[in-house]
């Protein structure tokens, strides 16, 4: 990989200050910058469009906002875009402390932090401030000059998509979210790393599976994407949600909903190969866009490989998740780990039993011992005959061989040899 940390740094610095949300010009601007790294297409879905149980909201844009006392700005959107609750409606006027107070948000534990707050589906407004700013306003008599120069009107929701075909019609989804304003680990690191990852994958000539890579606003954007691409999504075998990949804390991964799926064992295998100490987070209904891709209609196994996972670090969803908190070195390492995981999974053989209706007569294919009693267990109390039977039982054309090896607790190489033998005997077909 020829990517330099300096290049990563340059993109981090350009993208960090942009005010992003679930809609708006900040998202378009960010995606245009990512187009320098990968030829993603920028798609627009009009406000008011119905997508499953949701409706695309009006588009939000903001140019300025502040709170001032006697002409002196105490809180200024131009200093930090986290100061304004995302999707705040326009406001202009003079307020008393009692009127202003319900619209102020502070962080309960971190005094110096500006918390991150949103109000996408409530017609509201607000400011997020440090404890010092809050105290200063509380002690002042006001009145407070409050301005939010925003617009909330019909427009569209913007997302990015890059589809890279493989030699098979099956695909992998890689999804990241672009809706967070100036926070570095969550999720500037993820949206940028995904662009580098797309570039790397596109330079590989031997991908078996295709890649469907999307940069969407979290939740609503993933729902839009599923609704508009329902048939394509059903051809996806597994996926990754890329988020929080460059923080200072621990590596970890959130398991996909089926803990036995190969994606989980391969992530662990790569961590172990790299001697990385990691934390495992079992699947949970909270989290990111795996909630949509793994929903009942799709049930795609989607995991996330993280470096300082969301929810887990103290600076999560605050202004302290800034450029000092992440490192391009960690981002580069996460990129390498993601590539290793995807390339290993791409090579996973998938077999299908040619005879799914009841058991075959093994002796007809010379697969049954002519003399009983000498089948010694090889691994995990399983003899070669047992392994043949398990393979015929499990090879349904969908379950990969790594998953089968993990389930049986037998080395991948051994299972693969037996599967190849069953193919020679024409009872299994290798379908991928
Ligand atoms: Zn977040």
Q: Residue range 208-230: average pLDDT? A: 98
Per-residue pLDDT, 374 = 58
Say how many Å lie between the CA of residue 189 and the centre of ligand 1: 12
Query: What pLDDT was estimated at residue 378?
Result: 77
Say if residue 304's pLDDT is above 70.
yes
CA–centroid distance, 242 to ligand 1, in Å, is 12
Distance 232 CA to ligand 1 centre (A): 27
CA of 322 relative to ligand 1 center, distance in Å: 13
Mean pLDDT of 328-342: 98
Distance 384 CA to ligand 1 centre (A): 49
Closest by CA position to 77, among listed 126, 124, 29: 126
The alpha carbon of 202 and the centre of ligand 1 are apart by a number of angstroms equal to 28
Residue 279 has pLDDT above 90, yes or no: yes
Report how far residue 255's alpha carbon sits from residue 168's, in angstroms, rounded to the nearest whole number.
Answer: 26
Task: Name the average pLDDT for the chain.
Answer: 96
Strand pairing report for 350-353 and 396-400: antiparallel
Q: How far is the CA of 218 from the centre of ligand 1 (A)?
A: 8
- Is residue 57's pLDDT more than 70? yes
How many A from CA of 299 to the centre of ligand 1? Answer: 23
Residue 321: the pLDDT is 98
pTM for the predicted model, two decimal places: 0.95
Distance CA 6, CA 11 (A): 9
- How close is the Cα of 86 to the center of ligand 1, in Å? 13
| C-alpha of residue 376 to centroid of ligand 1, in Å | 53
pLDDT at 372 over 70: no
How remote is the CA of residue 400 from the centroid of ligand 1, in Å? 32
Q: What is the CA radius of gyration of the chain?
A: 26
Percent of the chain with pLDDT over 90: 94
Å from CA of 244 to ligand 1 middle? 9
Confidence band for 2, pLDDT divided at 50, 70 and 90: confident
Cα–ligand 1 centroid distance for 117 (angstroms) = 10
């Amino acid at each position: 990989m020829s990517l330099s940390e300096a290049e990563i740094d340059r993109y981090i610095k350009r993208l960090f200050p942009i005010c992003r949300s679930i809609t708006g010009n900040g998202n378009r601007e960010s995606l245009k910058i990512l187009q320098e790294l990968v030829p993603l297409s920028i798609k627009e879905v009009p406000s008011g469009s119905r997508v499953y149980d949701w409706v695309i909201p009006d588009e939000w844009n903001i140019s300025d906002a502040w709170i001032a006392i006697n002409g002196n700005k105490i809180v200024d959107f131009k200093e930090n875009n986290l100061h304004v609750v995302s999707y705040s409606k326009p406001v202009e006027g003079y307020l008393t402390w009692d009127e202003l107070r319900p619209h102020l948000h502070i962080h309960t534990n971190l005094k110096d932090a500006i918390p991150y707050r949103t109000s996408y589906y409530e017609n509201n407004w607000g400011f997020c401030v440090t404890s010092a700013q809050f105290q200063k306003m509380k002690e002042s008599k006001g009145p407070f000059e409050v301005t939010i120069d925003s617009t909330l009107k019909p427009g569209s929701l913007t997302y990015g998509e890059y589809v890279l075909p493989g030699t098979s019609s099956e695909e992998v989804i890689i999804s990241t979210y672009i809706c967070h304003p100036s926070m570095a680990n969550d999720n500037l690191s993820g949206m940028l790393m995904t662009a580098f990852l797309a570039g790397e994958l596109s330079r590989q000539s031997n991908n078996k599976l295709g890649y469907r890579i999307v940069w969407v606003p979290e939740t609503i954007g993933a729902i839009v994407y599923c609704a508009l691409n329902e048939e394509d999504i059903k051809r996806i075998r597994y996926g990754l949600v890329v988020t929080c990949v460059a923080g200072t804390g621990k590596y970890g991964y959130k398991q996909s909903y089926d803990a036995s799926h190969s994606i989980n064992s391969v992530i662990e295998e790569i961590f172990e190969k790299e001697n990385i100490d990691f934390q495992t987070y079992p699947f949970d209904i909270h989290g990111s866009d795996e909630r949509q891709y793994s929903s009942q209609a799709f049930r795609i196994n989607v995991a996330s490989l993280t470096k300082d996972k969301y929810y887990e670090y103290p600076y999560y969803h605050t202004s302290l998740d800034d450029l000092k908190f992440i490192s391009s070195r960690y981002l580069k390492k996460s990129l390498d780990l993601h590539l290793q995981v995807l390339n290993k999974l791409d090579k996973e053989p998938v077999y299908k039993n040619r005879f799914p209706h009841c058991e075959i007569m093994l002796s007809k294919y010379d697969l049954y011992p002519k003399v009983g009693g000498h089948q010694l267990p090889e691994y995990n109390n399983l003899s070669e005959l047992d392994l043949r039977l398990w393979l015929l039982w499990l090879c349904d054309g969908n379950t990969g061989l790594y998953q089968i090896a993990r389930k049986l607790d037998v080395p991948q190489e051994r299972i693969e040899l037996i599967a190849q033998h069953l193919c020679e005997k024409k009872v299994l077909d290798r379908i991928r």
